[in-house]
Amino acid sequence: MDEPTTRPLEGVLVVALEQAVAAPLATCRLADAGARVIKLERSEGDFARAYDTVANGQSAYFAWANRGKESLVVDIKKSSDVSLIQRIVANADVFIQNLGVGAAARVGLGSTYLRTQHPRLITCDISGYGEKGPYATMKAYDLLVQAESGLVSVSGAPGEYGRVGVSVCDIATGVSAALAINEAIIGRELTGQGAAIHLSLFDVMAEWMSVPLLQYDYGGTAPNRVGLAHPSITPYGGFVTNDGATLVISIQNEREWSDLVTKVLNKPELASDPEYIDNSARMQHREQVDAIVQKVFAALGREELERQLSDARIAFGAVNGLDELSKHPQLRRIRVASETGKIDMPAHPDASRVVRGDTRIPALGEHSDAIRVEFAGK
């Protein structure tokens, strides 16, 4: 695919006082869309740089969320560096920060103050639990918010809580921030005014928990932890083949149930059996349903079952490990440069978005001298 000559956010300047994952992921999305992102880092760098060194000498987290940015080392406790940041912000379209609540304001970089000075500026503040309330000053790392938001209570196996295996609170918040910033950029074209965006990891995850929360608030029950299964649909879960693979199948309606029992399980009589005739009936006999499916799966290998499921038009997916993901036929990759070598990583989720071939992960302070010169007299 040819690289586009222009990208939608070209000409947009983003100043990012950011660390960890949520804000960096948001600005990475903006950079992929063409924005110029100046990442402000302390002398030791964003602490995500030191999470590990597994990606050709780079931290996997940092490499993933920081491509295409410029790194400027600053000390926000020095008035001269704060003045530099304020001069850069005076020329910027977006200012985003995810320091502790109140930290940016205490050094003269609070969003309210900056927007008073620059009404067209779009500011985005990301916190753990919001800027007010009893939890406002609490630290909010990803797993802590998974716990506080109730996410772990509906994840995992029966009797055991489960952590979602990626930093889902950070990721969800970063994507939400990128969406809100893009909306504000469009809104500014209509009104001429910037916007003040306020997001918290807790608010984002609470909104993502809407379905189980509504089930509890209005139905009086919470979803059970059911491991590799669906809490309210069956059969919808993982079943083990005779060669040790686990295939997840999903039956969403009675036509699919009929196709499954007729074309795969070879038990057409189950299609009209009152105990299994619809999902409500099957949920009342979940153990029997699972046992019927597992017995057939245990007698066949993965390839044969995948063929039969495909022929029957039954939705399924294999439980893959990272070795299988790494060589998955649908996995698209991009190659990004860094000071320690090139890194192949998953491509932008939008298949039409082409990340520029010269995109790189910035070394700490790589652009400091040039940026200081550029904004020295502005």
What does the DSSP assignment read for 188-207?
A: HHHHS--EEEEEEHHHHHHH
User: pLDDT tens digit string along 133-185?
Assistant: 999 999 999 999 999 999 999 999 998 999 999 999 999 999 999 999 999 99
Q: Are 177 and 126 in contact (CB under 8 A)?
A: yes
User: pLDDT tens digit string along 266-285?
Assistant: 999 999 999 999 999 999 99
User: pLDDT tens digit string along 98-129?
Assistant: 999 999 999 999 999 999 999 999 999 999 99
Tell me the one-letter amino acid at 248: V
Cis link prior to 235 (omega < 30° from 0)?
yes
Which band of pLDDT confidence, cut at 50, 70 and 90, is reported for residue 358? confident
Segments making up each domain of the chain, as ranges: 13-209+347-374, 236-318
Superfamily of domain 13-209+347-374: Crotonobetainyl-coa:carnitine coa-transferase; domain 1 (3.40.50.10540)
Q: What is the pLDDT of residue 3?
A: 53
Q: Are 224 and 155 in contact (CB under 8 A)?
A: no
Topology of the domain comprising 236-318: formyl-coa transferase, domain 3 (3.30.1540)
For 60-114, the three-class secondary structure string (H helix, E strand, C coil) is HHHHHHCCCCEEEECCCCCHHHHHHHHHHHHCCCEEEECCCCCHHHHCCCCHHHH
The residue assigned the tokens 């067209």 is: 120
- Name the percent of the chain lying above pLDDT 90: 92
Q: What is the pLDDT of residue 353?
A: 77
